[in-house]
Amino acid sequence: MIRNFFLHSFAFSLLIALEAVAQIPDLPKGARTHWIIREPEEIVSYLIFDPATVKERIPSFLRFITIGELAADQIFWAKEHLGKNPTHADWGISFIEIVRMKIFEIDGHSPQWPENGAAALWFARVVPADSTSELGPGKPFLALEFWMPDSMYVGYMRSKGHYARYGDVRLHRNSEGKWIGSIDADGLSVVSECMPTGKVEGFGSSGMQVFVPPAQSGITTIVRVAFAGHQERLCSEDSFWQFRGVHPLIKGMTLGPSSFQFGYDLIGGSYHR
C-alpha cells in the first residue's frame, strides 16, 4: 500500500502540479538566461535526511520542510515513517536523480558530454523562513547539489547564475533494458540501478519550480523552471541506490520505490531574487 501511496501522494504532489493538458506554463518575465531541456531520461528516488548534515547550505531566508510537520498534516507516509522512526521528526525531504538529456542548453550553449554522460542533482523541499514572504510562482527547492561532468561548462553555468559543481556522472541502459547510473564526485560515490516495470503513468503533467542555490555558493540568483509531459514507470523491487564516502548523502534514507521518468520538456532561466 505504501508503495503506491508514497509515489502518487508524495512524489507527484512534491514535484508536479497535475493539469488536464500537458502544456508548459509561461515563465515570469525578466529571465536573465534561457534554459532548455528536451527528451530527458532519469532515475529518481526520494530521500529523507538530517538537516544538521547540511545546515551550512541553507540560506537564512529558507527553512526545510520536515517529516514532523507533514505527519501533523496527516500525510500518510510521514505518519507511518515517524511511527517507526520517532527521532526523524526534524528530518527534511528531498529527491535525488541521475538524468541524461537529448538537449541541454543555456543561452544556446551545451556541455561536452563524455560517453554516457549525464547530470545528477540532490534538491530538498523548502519554504520561506518568514511565512509572510514568498519566492513567486512554483514550489521552492534548495539545490543541495547539481553535478555536471564537464568542468568548463560548470564554470559557464555558474557565470550565468545556475548553480553547479563538477562530478563524473554517467547513465546508460544495458542490453536487458536496465538503467545504470553512477556519480563520482568530491567525497561521494553513487551507483544506482533501475529496471522499469509496470505501466506508464503521469500523462498530462505540468508545473513550475524555483531552485535556490546553497548558501556560500557565490550564486546570488535563483532559477525558475516550467515543465510539462512527465511520464514514469516504477523501478522493480530489486532496483537500488548505493552511497559511499563522506558526503551528507550517505546518511540519508531513500523512501518508497524509485522511478524511471521521461517524456517531459523543461524551460527555465535565472532571475534576481
- Report how far apart the first and last C-alpha atoms of the chain are (Å, whole number): 41
What number of residues does the chain have?
Answer: 273
Supply the pLDDT for residue 152: 98
Q: DSSP for 53-81?
A: GGGGGS-TTEEE-BHHHHHHTT-HHHHHH
Average pLDDT, rounded, for the chain: 91
- What average pLDDT does this structure show over 209-216? 97
Q: Which CATH class is domain 2-272?
A: mainly beta
Supply the pLDDT for residue 22: 65
pLDDT at 5 over 60: no
Residue 193, sorted as left (phi over 0), alpha (psi -120 to 50) or beta, turns out to be beta
**Consecutive H or E run containing 151:** helix 151-159
Supply the pLDDT for residue 16: 41
Rounded to an integer, what distance in angstroms lies between the CA atom of residue 250 and that of residue 243? Answer: 5
Q: List CB contacts of 155: < 8 A, sequence separation 6 or more.
A: none
Rounded to an integer, what distance in angstroms lies between the CA atom of residue 4 and that of residue 13? Answer: 13
Supply the pLDDT for residue 204: 65
Using alpha carbons, list the distances in angstroms from residue 238 to 155, 190, 193, 226, 251.
Answer: 37, 16, 9, 33, 21
pLDDT at 113 over 80: yes
pLDDT band at 17 (very low <50, low <70, confident <90, very high): very low
pLDDT at 134 over 80: yes
